[in-house]
Amino acid sequence: MKDKIFKSLLFFAAALILILTAGIVYSLVIRSTDAFARFGFWQFVTSPEWDPRPESEHYGALSFIVGTLMTSVLALFFCIPFSFPVALFTGEYFKGKKVASLVGSVVNLLAGIPSIVYGLWGFYTLRPIIISLGLNEQGFGVLTASLVLAIMIIPYASSLTSEFLSMVPNDLKEGAYSLGATRLEVISRVSFPAAASGILASYILALGRALGETMAVTMLIGNTNNIPSSLIDTGNTMASVIANQFGEASGLKLSSLIAIGLLLFLITAVINSIAKLAMKRIKS
Amino acid sequence: MGYGVSKLRFRNWKNKAFYIFVCVMSGITMFPLFFIIWELIKKGYKQFNYSFFTEVAPTSMDAMLAKMSDSVIPGGVLNGITGSLLILGMAIVFAIPVGILAGIYLSEKKESRFAGIIRFLTDLVQGIPSIVVGIIAYAWVVKPMHGYSALAGSVALAIMMLPLVIRSTEETLNMLPVSLKEAGLALGASYTNVILKILLPSAFGGLFTGILLAVSRIMGETAPLMLTALGAAAVNWDWSKPTSSLPLLIWEFYNDPNLIDLIWSSSLLLLLLILTLNLIAKQVANKWKIQ
């Protein structure tokens, strides 16, 4: 009897996740219907116009979708030359050694720093550098945001990549060594190809992280409602426009912001699912 | 012959150059952490005094007057500390029982189809951007209650914490040897007792580490709290009222030119708390490692 109750308790706790997810999707959809009904789903996604004036009220998400993709992809680009060497350091060159776990821990601690602290650091340390380089008068913009974003996602990319690199069977590598290959050749012709799909999945997951980052980006991107015309232009991401305008929004604007939230949810869900499914297939 | 030697030299040179490149880049990647901590200490240590922990955040006016007379800005972050405690405490109460039970379920039903779906959804929830979680808590709690509240903030943080707790519970339990469970059942213990009195205590270290890491992960969350807990100028222990928290205070200070000097000390405090939790988690993990 007691066991039965306990077992159903376990089942109920697990089922709660299902209810939670369904509830999240339901609430987002219900609360964004106003915006989608008014502008049409496709219109909303493809219109770059964001005009809150009552007489010509019109909302579209394109500027923010483009801003999000630009910052995230750029951040992913910037993070590769740092995260990949760290992964090689911890998962290949010094695998299992003390120095590898030291470097790994320090880099992983980067994931513990709150987004808002990264934002402050970007604002007071990185922004003046951008200004002094003459890239941008105010120092805000896509470039500044994605540089900080790159630092934030390094630990996610490097720890998973390192895991996949260290999973490459030793026999393969030893075979190459015995044929006279140097370490670099073993890495580039054996380890990397063997782990390539896992590494790709790690970087997709890091991209998923970057898409949803809010505070640091909000503090650095400049918060203008336009499609960024270049890398040094200002803009807004989907997350930053919600963070900036949710507080004073109501009616159609609120619904539009929640619609952007729904789109952001869908994009990250798709990206994360692709990465997770790929990883599951590789690991089994 | 000569061709072979020079080619070999080039290959060796490339090999070494790449090795140096990897080491240098790894070293550079360690920089930002120390750089950020150093910056916070350098700019924030002056505000670290007794009143920083015992007084609430100053008003913009007080801070301006202090700045004009060139003295240290009065007040502290007490309302943020207590608010963080309240919101985090409630989030822990919501997320941990459900998270551990669901984690047990997943590790017990390794092959079941339903468990596979739950596992997938757990990953999905973990990937939801924090600002979207904020919208959810706004729709579920702020709207029905007609006002911002500590409860709404803790619901948001609990949603973010839940998948972390589920996954760490499942992984820890999966590491336990099957013989442990079998021995308990063979001795006639009931299923419930085997799980509650044998498996969970054996997995304590892993569970505790997972919870500490989950708390440290959500402790610095700002965006979802902006949409739910909003912030408050005074110490508030009422779960149904707007409440401040450390990250919310940092955001407030950042947006007020008179209070801006306080961002460094409050960020330093927040970061120290998070890093301490991380270090404790690591110690616990090492001490209670499953053999």
Check which CATH number belongs to the domain holding A209 and give it. 1.10.3720.10
What does the pLDDT read at residue B285? 86
What does the pLDDT average to over B146-175?
A: 96
| Residue A175 belongs to a domain | yes
What does the pLDDT read at residue B2? 55
What does the pLDDT average to over B209-229?
A: 95
- With a cut of 70, say whether residue B1 has pLDDT above it: no
- With a cut of 90, say whether residue B159 has pLDDT above it: yes
The shortest C-alpha distance from A214 to chain B (Å) reads: 7
What does the pLDDT average to over B131-146?
A: 96
- Decide if A125 and B130 are in contact by the 8 Å CB cutoff: no
Q: Is A117 on the interface with B (CB under 8 A)?
A: yes
- Decide if A276 and B120 are in contact by the 8 Å CB cutoff: yes
- B-facing residues of A in 205-234 (CB < 8 A) are 208, 211-215, 218-219
What does the pLDDT read at residue A246? 94
Chain B residues within 8 A of A119 when measuring between CB atoms: 254
Residue B46: band (very low, low, confident or very high) from pLDDT cuts 50, 70, 90: confident
Chain B residues within 8 A of A83 when measuring between CB atoms: 29
- ipTM score of the complex? 0.94
| Residue A148 belongs to a domain | yes
Question: Which chain A residue has the Cα nearest residue B148?
Answer: A247
What mean pLDDT, rounded, does chain B reach?
92
Write the pLDDT tens digit of every residue in A134-174. Answer: 888 889 999 999 999 999 999 999 999 999 999 999 999 99
- Cα–Cα distance measured from residue B47 to residue A220, given in angstroms and rounded to the nearest whole number: 26
- With a cut of 90, say whether residue A61 has pLDDT above it: yes
- With a cut of 90, say whether residue B64 has pLDDT above it: no
What does the pLDDT read at residue B291? 53
What does the pLDDT average to over A255-278?
A: 96
- Decide if A113 and B274 are in contact by the 8 Å CB cutoff: yes
Q: What is the value of pTM for the model shown?
A: 0.94
| Residue A227 belongs to a domain | yes
Domain count, chain A: 1
Question: For the domain with range B80-287, which CATH number is right: 1.10.3720.10, 3.40.1160.10, 1.10.150.130, 1.10.1740.10?
Answer: 1.10.3720.10
What does the pLDDT read at residue B3? 62
- Cα–Cα distance measured from residue A92 to residue A183, given in angstroms and rounded to the nearest whole number: 10
Task: Write out the DSSP string of B68-81.
Answer: HTT-PPP---HHHH
- Decide if A247 and B263 are in contact by the 8 Å CB cutoff: no
The residues that bridge with A58 in the sheet, in sequence order, are A51
What does the pLDDT read at residue A82? 97
Chain A residues within 8 A of B247 when measuring between CB atoms: 114, 116
Question: Which chain B residue has the Cα nearest residue A275?
Answer: B123
Rounded to 10 degrees, the C-alpha dihedral B245/B247/B252/B253 comes to 120
Hey, of A32, A215, A262, which one would you mutate to test binding to chain B, going by the most B CBs within 10 A of its CB?
A215
Write the pLDDT tens digit of every residue in A78-102. Answer: 999 999 999 999 999 999 899 999 9
Collect all residues with Cβ–Cβ distance below 8 Å to A35 and sequence separation of at least 6: A44, A59, A252, A255, A256, A258, A259
| Residue A142 belongs to a domain | yes
- With a cut of 80, say whether residue B237 has pLDDT above it: yes
- Cα–Cα distance measured from residue B245 to residue B240, given in angstroms and rounded to the nearest whole number: 15
Per cent of chain A over pLDDT 90 is 90
Q: Please, what is the end-to-end C-alpha distance for chain A in angstroms? A: 37
CB-based contact A17:B125 (threshold 8 Å): yes
Domain, as residue range, for A93:
58-283
What does the pLDDT read at residue B290? 61
Hey, of A28, A29, A94, A113, which one would you mutate to test binding to chain B, going by the most B CBs within 10 A of its CB?
A113
- Decide if B127 and A93 are in contact by the 8 Å CB cutoff: no
What does the pLDDT average to over B199-225?
A: 94
- For chain B, which residues make up each domain, given as ranges? 80-287
What does the pLDDT read at residue A252? 94
Per cent of chain A over pLDDT 70 is 100
| Residue A34 belongs to a domain | no
- Cα–Cα distance measured from residue B216 to residue A256, given in angstroms and rounded to the nearest whole number: 32
- With a cut of 80, say whether residue A225 has pLDDT above it: yes
What does the pLDDT average to over A256-284?
A: 93
What does the pLDDT read at residue A144? 95
Closest to A264 measured CA to CA, from A57, A32, A12, A2: A32
Give B66 or B128, the one with higher predicted confidence. Answer: B128
Write the pLDDT tens digit of every residue in A21-59. Answer: 999 999 999 999 999 999 999 999 999 999 999 888 999
